[in-house]
Structure formats: C-alpha cells, structure tokens
Structure 1
Amino acid sequence: MHAPSSSPVASRGHSQMASQLDSNALRKKRLRKPRGRGLRTTTGCLTCRKRHKKCDERRPVCGPCTTRCRDCVYSDTASMPETQSQSADGDDQHGSDMPASSTPTEPLTFPPNVQPPDAPFSTWSPDSAFWTTDFASTRWLDLLANDAAQADSGFSLAPTPAPREGDERLTQAADIESLHTRLSEVVAAERKSWQADADATLTSHEAGLLRHFAERCASWLDLFTPQRLFSTYAIRLALRNAGLMKAILALAARHHAKLPQSGDQDSHNLSGAAENGWIRYYYETLHYVQEALTYNSYTNSEELLATAIVISSYEMLDESDGQGNWQRHLKGVFWIQRSQNVNGASGGLRQAVWWAWLRQDIWAAFREKRPCLSFWVPLEEYHELDKHGLANRAIYLLSQAVNYYVHSRAVGMNPMADPSAPLNLSQVKEKLLRNIGQWKTCLGNQYKPLPTPSSPADVFTRLWIHPPQFGVALQAISFAQILIALHSPALTGFNGYLRMQRTLSEAVDTICGIAIELKEEGCQIMSAQCLYGAGLCVQDRAKQDKILSLIEACESRVGWAPMATWRDDLRREWAQADDA
C-alpha cells in the first residue's frame, strides 16, 4: 500500500490539498490495526501461494481451490500467535498430532528444547505437514534428479512442469452435485493420460525381472502384510503403469546382479542383460514420474506411493557403504505420504507402503542419530490387534525406542539445556516399557518357539518361530529393550545392575536364537539390524563371532553390501571397549 504523499494529487504541487491529505493519512494510520493484531494475518492458502494465484482466503476452502477442485490447505502457523505455533511444532516433533486421551497406545512426549546432535538435516519443517500432494511429489523428484545428475553427468531432467489446471468448464458448474459429477469425469479422463488401457507387453528379460521382484524383492516390503500386496496387487498395477514397472525392474535387476550367479532357471532367464541395466530403468522411472506429476490424479495415486517406496528400496540396495543418498531421500517419501494423509491405519496398499517405509526410516534414524520422521500414533488397543497387527505394533514400538535413544543421547551431551529433561525422559521410558509389557501380554501361540534340533556346541539356544515374520517382531521388541536399557540412567545398587544385565542378556539371546533359525529372505534385513543391536551389548568373544557370522549369513541371502560396514562398526565398538 502506497503512502498518500506519493499520490498524483501531491505530485502536481497542490500543497494545501497535500497537507490536508497528509493529515487525514496520519489519522487513518493511527486507526489501522497493527499487523500482529488482525490485519492480513494470513497470506493465502498454501495451494494458491505455490501456484502464485490470488487467494480470497475463504475457509475451509478458498474460492480458487473450489472452482479448480484442488486440495485447499492452510498452514496453521500462518494464523496462530507465535507461541501457539511453536507449541504446535513441538507437538509434531515429539509426539502425536492427537490428544493423548484418544490414543490407547500412550504417546511419548519428549523434552522440549532438546535437539538431537549431529543430525544431517532438519528433521521437521513447519510447513512440511501442510504441503499439497503435487508440491510434495515434485520436491521428492527434485531430490532424486539432482543426486542422479551429480552421480552421472550424462543424466539430465528438465524442470518439472506445473500440474495441469484441469478443465476450465468446472467453473461453470451450477451446483455442488454437478461439480462433483464433472470432477469425476475429468479425473477419469485424466487417469487415461498416465494409466494404460491394457496390460504392458514385456520382453522375456523383463518378465523374468518382474517375477524375481514378486518372488524375492517384494518379500522385504510385504514382511508383515498377510495379503502380500506388493507381490500380488502392486505388480498388477505396474502392468498398466510404466513408472511403477520401471521402478520394479530397476530393483529386481539390481538385486539379481548382487546375488551369486547360479545355474537355476531364474538366473538363466535373467542372463544376457545389459551391464548396469538397472541404472537405465532407474532413470526411465524418474523421467516417467516427471511427466506424470503434471496430472493431479497421479499425485494422489497408489501408483506414485508404490513407485516411491520401490525406488527407496532400490537406493537402499544400491548403497555400497551405507553413506549414500537413500537415507536423505526417505524424507521425500515421507512428504508424499503426509500430503496424501497416509499412515499405518490407512488400509490397503497405502498402509503397506507406510509400514515398509517406517521399517526403512527406523534404521536410517538409528544410524543418523535422529528421531524417526513419523509422529503418527496408533489408536487400536493391544487386545484389539490380530497377530499381524501385533507384529506391526512391534515395529512402531521400536521406532519409539529409537526416538528415546536419540533424545537421551542429546540430553546426556547437554544436560544443562533443560533441567527437567532427565525427569521427562524417565517418564517417557516408563510409558514405553509399559507399552512393551502390554504388547507381550497379548501374544498368542504363533509367537511361541516350536521344538527344533539343538547341539551342545550352540553358542545361543536356537529359537524356531513360525511363521518367521513373528520371529522378526520378537527381535524388534528385543532391540527396543536394548536401546532403552543402554541409554537409561544407571540404576543404583547391585540389584539395579543385575536387572539391566538380565534385560540385555535375554534380549540378546532372543535376537540371536531366532536369527539362527531364520532363513526366510524377506526377514533378513530386519534380522540383521536387530543383530547389530545385540552386538552392542555383548562382551564374550564367542558370542561376538557368532553375531558377525549371523549378519554375514543375512547379507549372503539378501546381497545388501552395507551389512559388511555394520560388522566393521561392531569390531571397532568392541575394540574401544577392550581399550577402555
């Protein structure tokens, strides 16, 4: 808004009139509300701001978003007083976005003002929870494309175009009913632009890769999903979506290349592939996603979610030293899920994607010493969960244990930052242990060990759990107990020391005993991660050697190279303990 003194009237030299205008302007200025007290407290919805459109700020859906049928999202931080905004961010960072009274699983609230040290990037962004689907997807793609261009000078991806505006005739809708009818027609027509009408025709080599994914790679993603949605449903989506198909082919080709070559039929079908063919599939996936992101229906689709998690698995597998871009790209997958309001109770493939992503993020968070990205809290009581739901709940509890470990470490490094932090951490620990105890009381016969042959030479007692994924759930809970025990304040007295040692010993025996009998390929990644946790609290040389051999066996079944790095890390930890 321009000052009155710069008006055309003043510039023409009418001094008397200008003086009067200045006097009136001063009186008006005194009456104007301060900006912090109600004048233009918002700057439009995030959707209009991103598109550089004028927004009338009507709630809950502004005018432009109503006529275009877009997701209208307002940033809470734009209209809250500063103190309330900070409180909301703190809630997102440390706990749930729901009231504690509505969550049977007790949410864990960590001390405020405690920032995890050595975090490679800011875990939380005030606006990240409010991003629209197209913006979140574009940010994720930009992350992948920029890193791909840095790794390969021959790769380039043009700037992602803005999503299509949709049919202008939507503005002529006479009423809400006709608007929704027309919207459905537009969405159906738009889907045909990025979804094929018939199944794709694959070459013999590609058909072999698709089967390799369904029978082997998908087992990592379907670990606790009884419907096996990646190996049954996602591959059928891929037959009509080129982007998802290319992502699947990239993962399958990379995994097959890492495995020892054999003379079986599977290896024969996949022989003759171009060297580094998986890179071509990966780049083709990025190009397809860039084109498809111009359609709003694609940014909200299952196909995009599945493509994102398959690409994340590819990048995880492609790492050689555990220091690649995969961990950083996990945040991009998180953005897409948040923009689609996907969580651990969404149902169907969306829910399966979320749990597969959380398992990846748990390990990345643990290695990077940062909190897990998700702050979703499950609503179901423990006794309401079936055996598969209990397995997923074990993963959720492990994520909370990682958060506890990170915040406990931060408090230990800077104890004077918040004098109340130790007490708050103690309360978090008690809640977490109480949740673990409730989880254990609800376990059925499927979680009990079955008879198995043993040998006097066994370092650990063998534990055969069938189905095997329930054994992984028990390993995850044991890993959580190790993290809590190792990073809790030292218990006073000899009895306190014995209790901690008993907890650690039982957890190590459970993890290693199950790992000895665990041959299922889909279980190997999580089992190896839990074995690493067990190795952190083992001093006996025979047990240390056995843990290293078990991790090596996991690596041979999956072909994930960073497992060798984990073994080296454990050796260094043990050497430092011996020198202390």
Structure 2
Amino acid sequence: MPVTSSGASKSRKPRPSRARGLRTTTGCLTCRSRRIKCDEQRPRCATCIKSDRECRYASSTNAPVSTVINESTPPAQASASPALARKSIRSDTQFTNSPELQFDSPFTTGSVASIPSPNSAPYEWYDLLAEDAIQNVAKYNLNLDVDKPRLSQRESPEREEPALDPQLRSPDQDTNTQLGSPPNQISSPNDSQRLPPILLDQWNSVENIPLTEDELVLFQHYLAVVGPILDLCDPTGQFSRVVPRLAVHNLGLLKSLLAVAARHLAALNQPSSVQPTSDSNIVNPLINVATQYYYETLHYLSQNLNQGSYSKSREIIATALLISTYEMFDAEGQYNNGAWERHLRGFFWIQRSQNNNGECKDPLRRAAWWAWLRQDSWVAFREGRRVLTIWRPLRRLDDLTPDELCLRIIYICGRCIDFASTESVKKYDVDTRIDQGKKLTQAMNDWYNILGSSFQPIYRPALPASDSFFSPIWIHPPSHAAAIQTYHFSRIIVAINEPSLGGMDDMRHRQRLLDDSVETICGIASTHQGKEIPSAMINVRALYAAGLAARDPVKQAGVLHLLEETLEVAKFPLKSLLQDLTTHWHAQQ
C-alpha cells in the first residue's frame, strides 16, 4: 500500500473485482464473449451488424437461442402448438435448429452510417417522393401546374408551429400554395365540405372524410381488388379491413389509397396492344387521376411530416406501403434505380425507424412488413441484388400456425434470392456456395415437412385435359396455394444457382426436382384460382421461375402459354417477361 511522506498509509477507495461488477450481463452473447460494449438492440445489435457477426441473446431460462421468442411473440401456450397437433409423432428436437433461424441477415444497403436516423428517415423518404413526382410529369406529359423547385424541398423539421393538414384548414385559407392545382382537376369536395368539426390531433379527424362519387368508385375498387392483393397472405385482412377505416379519418392515407386504386384501374384498362413504353401521346385518363392523387398525398406529407406523432404512426406506414404499390403498378420492367426500387428502399428506412418487422405486435405494421418483403423480393430477384432486410425470425416452425407458415416461406424465399444474387456469386467460393445451398434446401424441406393437410390439393386429376399441357392442382385456401408456389419458386432458384460436384447422378436428381416444381407451379396456375388477380400476381412470378427451369420444348411452350394468360389477368408485370424467357431458352441451346 502506498504511503505518504509522513509515513502514514493513504486510504484507497475499494474497487470492484474484475470478476464481478465490471462486466455487463444484459448484452448479446457475442459481445459478451468478445468483451466489448453492446447497445442491446434486437434482433441484432449495432456491433454485430457492423462486424457481420451472428448476434445471439440468452433467454431467461438459458435455453438455446433458436428457441428464444422475441417480444412480439404471444406467451407460450400450455397446450401443443398447431404444428405439433398436426404431427403427433416426431422427435422433440426436430426443427429446433432449422437453418432459416440461423441465416445471416446481410446488411444489404452498405454501412450502418448509410441508413437515415429514425428521425430523418421520413424526410429522406419524402425526398424520394418529390423526385419521382416531378419525373412522372415528364413521363406521362401531364399538364400539371407544379412548382418544381418548392416540390423538391421538404419542410424544415425545425419549424416551431407545424402546419395543419391543408384540407383541415378554414375554407378561406389557400391550400394549394405548394403543389398548385391542375387545370383539369378531378371532382372533389371543396375545403369547407372536407372540414371535420373535431380533430383527434392535427392530422386525424373524428368524423369520416366525405367522398365524391368518383372517389367512391375508386374506394370500392381498392376494397374489392387492391386490398386483397396486399392481403393474400394475411388472414386478418389489414389492408382490406383496417386501412380503409383509417383512411376515412386521415387525408394523406386516403389520397394514397385513391392513387393506387386509380393506377391499378388504369393498368386493367390498358389495351393489350398498347404498352406503357409506347411513343403514343395517348394517356389513359385514369393515369391523370392517379398522378393527381399522388401529388395530393405528397402535399399532405409535406405539411405533416414535422409532427412527431404522425412520423411514428400506423397511418404513415400504410401510406408508404400504398405508395410503393402505386410504383409497382407504374413500373416498366427494368427496376434498377427506378421509382419502385427507390421507394422499396425508402419504406425499408421507415420500417427501421419504427423498429417494425415480421413478428412485431401490431398486426398492421406486421402485415405491411410482409407485403413490402413480397415486393422487394421480386425486384431483388429481377435485379440480381440481395433483399433489403436485416431481420430474421426468432420463432421456430413448431410454434407457427398454418397462416404464419405461409409468411415464413416468404422469408425463406428472400434468403434464396440472396443466394442467387450477383453479390453472393462473386463473394463466396464454390465450397461455401455448396454449403449455403444445402442449408437453404434443408430450410425449405423443414418447412415443407411440417405442413398440414390444408396445403395439400383438394383436387388433382391423374391426367391433364386434352387442351392443357399440365394437370391442374387446386389448393385451398388461396394463401396456402401461394405458399406452395413460393416454395417451388425458391427451390428452383436454389437448384439452378447451386454449384454441382456430384456428377451425372446429382444432375439427374436436380433435374427431377426441377421437373416436379415446374409441374406443380403450372398445375396450380392452371386452376380457376389462377384467374383471380391476387393469385395471378403470385402465379406470374412462379411461372417465370418455372420457365427458367423448363428444358423440354413442349413444357416451355406450355409455360409460355400459361404465363401469357396469367399476365392478361394480373396486368403486371409487363409482357417483357415473355421475351425474357424466350431469350433465356435460346441462350441455353
């Protein structure tokens, strides 16, 4: 012990032992083992994201990480889960460590610093909206009186008194100072008719916002067609049942709903002989209507983003997803750096700012996340990039209901698209790619083996009809048919991108799997459900993958015929898919 000049010992404050008191016990297991600071974010902390490491947390009972349920998971039930009830004879450890719970969640947008902060994410998204709104004027040669310089600038977040929703102002106030009014504006109630007597806050109203007759037609089309497209894999029907009720109390959400409904109607009324890329100066009047509502949505956002409660609300999440869907119907085949691609990224930012994911508690936020993942997976597949998600599920297959299993295969499909991405092909060597392919195949097999009877066909004749190439397969409900389509889509993507070192036997086995997937996809697409727009949207994607796997010219012709018929139903994406398949087949010869 040190002493002073007088020889007396100097007292020292007691110091906690290094074995106790200096080490955190609440961080993730990875950071604790590395003895570094952890910010304890879930499902992955920032340190593990930055170092691209697996982030694991211990449960309160010290159970394996694969069994840990996140905060959005319902309390454990004393009775057996639905999956266990369907499979009474099975090892207790089966599927405990299924690979889809262990996939790395790649940070596909670059460094952590490249993601906007939670406070700035809505404004970054607004800038994307403003940029695309201006481009749409030139794209369709629309005569909209828009103040472009002002339109491209968001309102300052430092403003002390945020403006009210323009449609909630008094009738004598000018509501078009920022966007202007087009010369041939569609019929809509004036401001005094829109003015509700009581406000829940500055951006919501107690009473329903009135609709004109024209708007009512669009509203009904959304309820009948667009909502079910988004709700195909959501039994709670959030976008068909909940969003419309929110929309009649929130003007921004209502405008985005009317915009996407008008844009989809424009697609349905587009003559087959006229492609959107045509040089024709003829513009479908519904496109004018849709674009006008798009601008009105943008006007609303510019006035209300500064209100913190709105930027964190369910309404802005629903609005963002509807605008992304609007861009989906407006896309023209090549998505790289297009409006749809950018808005998928913008929606990713907003979801991150609210910490939403596929297992969060709020059913609307959860449904929006899965609808977004379906859209982003298709764009990622077509552009050869990875899917824009850093989240991975925590719940085991055993704990999922049949409807939740329909969602889980969408996540697995996203990981398969990652495997096929240009980045993954360039980054990993052959041995690593083979190992990744095996893990993905195991994850798909685990998912398929746990399915119940509702995923099995209720009608499947032994032979196809005389005028058909494929035997129809009818699976009901449609969401379960869509899940099987997604499963076979995923299996094809992995099989055609996985390196092979097994010789001829391995190649024959792989081709048998591909042939089986082609038969199943085409069989499901050829049933009456294939004539329904929500199912047709899924069938188009699966049929395109089936075309990539088909080797026999007769089957190729059958796939091409089915795809053309399905595109006529879905009206999305463009018929360029047909040409893409034909080009692919010629290259394989």
Same fold (TM over 0.5): yes
Kindly state the Cα deviation for residue 127 of structure 1 after the two structures are TM-superposed: 2.6
CA spacing shift, 1:130–1:253, aligned 2, 3 Å:
closer
Aligned to 1:63: none
Specify the code of the residue in structure 2 equivalent to 1:307.
T
Aligned to 2:584: 573
Q: Deviations over 1:542-561 (max 9, x none)?
A: 2222222222222222222x
CA spacing shift, 1:236–1:161, aligned 2, 3 Å:
same
Kindly state the Cα deviation for residue 380 of structure 1 after the two structures are TM-superposed: 1.5
SS of residue in 2 equivalent to 1:337: helix
CA spacing shift, 1:274–1:522, aligned 2, 3 Å:
closer
2:553 to 527, 536, 541: 541
Instruction: Give yes or no for contact 2:253–2:315 (8 Å, CA) kept in 1.
Output: yes
Aligned to 1:146: 131
1:383 to 361, 378, 398: 398
Instruction: Give yes or no for contact 1:479–1:534 (8 Å, CA) kept in 2.
Output: yes
2:454 to 438, 442, 446: 446
Instruction: Give yes or no for contact 1:250–1:282 (8 Å, CA) kept in 2.
Output: yes
Specify the code of the residue in structure 2 equivalent to 1:367.
R
Aligned to 2:508: 498
Kindly state the Cα deviation for residue 274 of structure 1 after the two structures are TM-superposed: 6.5
Give structure 2 stretches of 5+ with no counterpart. 1-26, 28-36, 40-44, 59-63, 68-96, 139-144, 162-197, 272-283
Kindly state the Cα deviation for residue 328 of structure 1 after the two structures are TM-superposed: 2.1
**Following superposition of structure 1 onto structure 2, how do residues 216-365 of structure 1 map, counting pairs within 5 Å?**
216-260=225-269, 276-323=288-335, 324-346=338-360, 347-365=362-380
Distance in 2 between residues matched to 1:111 and 1:397, nearest whole Å:
12
1:101 to 65, 68, 72: 65
CA spacing shift, 1:412–1:249, aligned 2, 3 Å:
closer
Kindly state the Cα deviation for residue 410 of structure 1 after the two structures are TM-superposed: 4.2
Distance in 2 between residues matched to 1:98 and 1:143, nearest whole Å:
36
CA spacing shift, 1:161–1:356, aligned 2, 3 Å:
same
Instruction: Give yes or no for contact 2:266–2:287 (8 Å, CA) kept in 1.
Output: no
User: Please, what is the CA RMSD of the aligned residues?
Assistant: 3.0
Q: How many residue pairs align between the two structures? A: 451
Aligned to 2:490: 480
Aligned to 1:123: 109
CA spacing shift, 1:317–1:216, aligned 2, 3 Å:
same
**Following superposition of structure 1 onto structure 2, how do residues 47-66 of structure 1 map, counting pairs within 5 Å?**
none
CA spacing shift, 1:238–1:410, aligned 2, 3 Å:
closer
Specify the code of the residue in structure 2 equivalent to 1:399.
G
Aligned to 2:81: none
CA spacing shift, 1:444–1:111, aligned 2, 3 Å:
closer
Give structure 1 stretches of 5+ with no counterpart. 1-59, 61-75, 79-83, 116-121, 168-188, 263-271
Aligned to 2:567: 555
Distance in 2 between residues matched to 1:480 and 1:275, nearest whole Å:
35
Is residue 521 from structure 1 mapped to residue 533 from structure 2 by the alignment? yes
Specify the code of the residue in structure 2 equivalent to 1:91.
D
SS of residue in 1 equivalent to 2:120: helix
SS of residue in 2 equivalent to 1:536: helix
Specify the code of the residue in structure 2 equivalent to 1:224.
C
Specify the code of the residue in structure 1 equivalent to 2:459.
P
Q: Deviations over 1:449-506 (max 9, x none)?
A: 1125641443222110011121111111111111111111114222111111111111
Distance in 1 between residues matched to 2:348 and 2:369, nearest whole Å:
9
CA spacing shift, 1:86–1:352, aligned 2, 3 Å:
closer
Q: Which has the higher helix share?
A: 1
Distance in 2 between residues matched to 1:559 and 1:493, nearest whole Å:
42
Instruction: Give yes or no for contact 1:136–1:336 (8 Å, CA) kept in 2.
Output: yes
Quick check: 480-489 or 144-153, which moved more? 144-153
CA spacing shift, 1:111–1:205, aligned 2, 3 Å:
closer
Specify the code of the residue in structure 1 equivalent to 2:546.
A
CA spacing shift, 1:328–1:96, aligned 2, 3 Å:
farther
SS of residue in 2 equivalent to 1:127: helix
Kindly state the Cα deviation for residue 293 of structure 1 after the two structures are TM-superposed: 0.3
Kindly state the Cα deviation for residue 86 of structure 1 after the two structures are TM-superposed: 7.9
Q: Deviations over 1:211-248 (max 9, x none)?
A: 10011011111011101111111000000111111111
Is residue 161 from structure 1 mapped to residue 125 from structure 2 by the alignment? no
Is residue 89 from structure 1 mapped to residue 50 from structure 2 by the alignment? yes
Specify the code of the residue in structure 1 equivalent to 2:409.
A
CA spacing shift, 1:427–1:137, aligned 2, 3 Å:
same
Aligned to 1:56: none
CA spacing shift, 1:259–1:334, aligned 2, 3 Å:
same
2:215 to 194, 206, 215: 206
Quick check: 511-520 or 155-164, which moved more? 155-164
Distance in 1 between residues matched to 2:55 and 2:475, nearest whole Å:
33
Distance in 2 between residues matched to 1:522 and 1:98, nearest whole Å:
39
2:432 to 424, 428, 434: 424
1:463 to 473, 482, 488: 473
TM-score of the two chains, using structure 2 as the length reference: 0.71
Kindly state the Cα deviation for residue 525 of structure 1 after the two structures are TM-superposed: 1.5
1:510 to 482, 497, 520: 520
Distance in 1 between residues matched to 2:239 and 2:315, nearest whole Å:
11
Distance in 1 between residues matched to 2:251 and 2:396, nearest whole Å:
40
Instruction: Give yes or no for contact 1:475–1:511 (8 Å, CA) kept in 2.
Output: yes
Kindly state the Cα deviation for residue 322 of structure 1 after the two structures are TM-superposed: 3.4
CA spacing shift, 1:436–1:215, aligned 2, 3 Å:
same
Specify the code of the residue in structure 2 equivalent to 1:404.
F
Distance in 2 between residues matched to 1:109 and 1:426, nearest whole Å:
15
Aligned to 1:564: 575
Quick check: 208-217 or 443-452, which moved more? 443-452
CA spacing shift, 1:534–1:274, aligned 2, 3 Å:
closer
